[in-house]
Amino acid sequence: MVAEPVRAATETLRPGVLTVIIPVYNERATFIELIESVRAVPIPLDIVIVDDCSTDGTRELLRERVDGSFANVRVLYHETNQGKGMAIRTAIPYAAGEFTIVQDADLEYYPEDYLPMLAGFADPEVTAVYGSRFMNGFPDMRLPNRIVNILLAWMVRVLFRTPMTDEATCYKAFRTRDLQNVRLNCRRFEFCPEVTAKVIRNGGKIVEVPIRYTARTIAAGKKIRWTDGVDAIWTLIKYRFVR
C-alpha cells in the first residue's frame, strides 16, 4: 500500500500524544507480545504497523488479531518486500501524534522507555530524542555489532560535530511535523544514518536518554548483517555532503 498524503492520513486517526511506527517482517513469534507491551504504555497512542510482505504467517496474524481490533491501530500492507526503511517511509504520513517513535517488531527494546524519551522534549528546541543503549555501559551483544555501533556514533561526532553515543538505536523519537518534513530515500536499515544526518543538517537538535536493551541472536531472528553496517557508514558520509 502506498501512503496517502499527510492530511488524508491524519484525518482518519484519532490524534494521540505519540505515534508508534512498527515496521514488521516475519515476526510472528514475537509480534503479539510486542503489540501488547506497546498498548500497555499509559499515554495516548496512535500505532501504525506496516507489514513488509511477511511470509511466515505474520500477515495472517495481523489480519486475524490486530487489524480492525483497536481504534488507535492502523495496519498497512506492502505487496512486495521493500525493506525496513521503506516501511517506515510508508508509515510516516499516517503519523497523527505530536511525537513519533520507531519501534522494532521484536523484543529487544522496552516500550516503557517511551516515557523518559518523551520527557526529553521538555526543551522546545529539541527536534529528536534518541534512546541510547550505551549511556550506562554496553549491554551484551555480538562483538562486530558493538564495534559498528561505536564507529557510527564516532562518525556522527566527527562528521556532524554532534555529541552522540548511539546513532544506530531503533528508539528514535521526533516531533512529528519535523519528521514529516525530512525527505528520505532509504529502503533498508539505512533509515537510521540518513535521518540522523538530515535532522542535523536541517539544524535540528538531537538529545539522548538512556534506555534498556536485550539483544537477540541471528538464530532468534535478528536480521541486520555486517553489510548493513557498511551501508550505514557510507550513508553517514554521503549525507554529510549531499542533501
In a domain, 103, yes or no: yes
In a domain, 1, yes or no: no
The pLDDT of residue 219: 56
Mean pLDDT of 129-142: 90
Mean pLDDT of the chain: 90
Residue-number span of the structural domain to which 117 is assigned:
6-241
The pLDDT of residue 224: 66
Of the pLDDT bands very low, low, confident and very high (cuts 50, 70, 90), residue 238 is: very high
Question: Which pLDDT tens digit goes with each residue over 44-82?
Answer: 999 999 999 999 999 999 999 999 999 999 999 999 999
Cβ neighbour number for residue 140 with a 10 Å cutoff: 8
In a domain, 78, yes or no: yes
Dist. CA 33–CA 38, nearest whole Å:
9
In a domain, 72, yes or no: yes
Question: Which pLDDT tens digit goes with each residue over 160-187?
Answer: 999 999 999 999 999 999 999 999 999 9
Burial class (CB in 10 A: 0-12, 13-18, 19+), 63: middle
Angle, helices 191-201 vs 143-160, to 10°: value is 20
Dist. CA 49–CA 21, nearest whole Å:
6
Show Cβ contacts of residue 214 under 8 Å, excluding neighbours closer than 6 positions: 107, 108, 139, 140
Domain count, the chain: 1
In a domain, 23, yes or no: yes
In a domain, 13, yes or no: yes
Dist. CA 209–CA 105, nearest whole Å:
21
CATH number of the domain where residue 171 is located = 3.90.550.10
C-alpha cell at 9: 492520513
Whole-prediction pTM value? Answer: 0.90
In a domain, 157, yes or no: yes
The pLDDT of residue 8: 41
HEC letters along 10-49: HHCCCCCCEEEEEEECCCCCCHHHHHHHHHCCCCCEEEEE
DSSP string, the chain: -PPPPHHHHHHTS---SEEEEEEESS-TTTHHHHHHHHHTSSS-EEEEEEE---SSSHHHHHHHHTTTT-TTEEEEE-SS---HHHHHHHHGGG--SSEEEE--SSSSS-GGGHHHHHHGGGSTT--EEEEESSBTBPPS--HHHHHHHHHHHHHHHHHH----S-TT-S-EEEEHHHHHTS-----STTHHHHHHHHHHHTT--EEEEE----PPPTTTT----HHHHHHHHHHHHHHHH--
In a domain, 123, yes or no: yes
Of the pLDDT bands very low, low, confident and very high (cuts 50, 70, 90), residue 225 is: low
The answer to whether 52 and 87 are in contact (CB under 8 A) is yes
